[in-house]
Amino acid sequence: MHVIVTGHHLEITEALRNHVDAKFSKLVRHFDNVTDVHVILTVEKLVQKAEATVQISGAKLFAEDHQEDMYTAIDNLVDKLDRQILKHKEKTNSHR
């Protein structure tokens, strides 16, 4: 899995990068065909925004989250993507 982290109006620190890597490694547990992840972290005044595009075999998933804390936004983002991956996995397994 290749994770690309970019920041808009934000400098990506080593702690943020490690947090993103740790959280996105959780996605591989459910679906091991995750090939590419592009994470964009943005700061707009008081709102911290995290969005990600995940390329998996057969689909491209997108999610975003807005919070006052960047780490909380990343956690919620990963939870949303986790639900989407599980739903995609169920769809691919339920077809004949």
> How does pLDDT run across 15-46, given as a tens digit for each residue?
999 999 999 888 877 777 778 899 999 999 89
- Compare 35 and 5 and report the one with higher pLDDT: 5
pLDDT tens by residue, 39-83: 999 999 899 999 999 998 878 999 999 999 999 999 999 999 999
Read off the pTM.
0.89
Of 15, 59, 58, 55, nearest to 39 (Cα)? 55
With 90 as the cut, is the pLDDT of residue 92 above it? no
Q: What is the C-alpha separation between 14 and 79, in angstroms, rounded? A: 22
Q: What is the CATH number of domain 2-94?
A: 3.30.160.100
